[in-house]
Amino acid sequence: MKDPVCGKEIGEKGEILTHNGKEYRFCCASCRWAFENNPEQFENES
């Protein structure tokens, strides 16, 4: 699985966020924060 913000391969670990019924995983809190503040920018890139 790839972090939708930075594109880093993260597997099953990392920060988790559910948005619009879909689960997203992030390599770190900073990437999760970026997604939370502008999800539309990243939703279609995952």
Q: What is the pLDDT of residue 23?
A: 92
Q: Which helix (H) or strand (E) holds 25?
A: strand 22-26
The confidence score (pLDDT) of residue 43 equals 77
**22-45 residue pLDDT tens:** 999 999 999 999 999 999 998 765
pTM equals: 0.82
For residues 15-30, one letter each, b for 16 or more C-beta atoms within 10 angstroms of the residue's C-beta and e for the rest, the string is: bebeeeeeebbbbeee
Q: What is the mean pLDDT of residues 15-20?
A: 92
Say what the pLDDT of residue 45 is. Answer: 59
Distance CA 3, CA 8 (A): 5
| Token couple for 4 | 């939708």
pLDDT reported for residue 13? 80
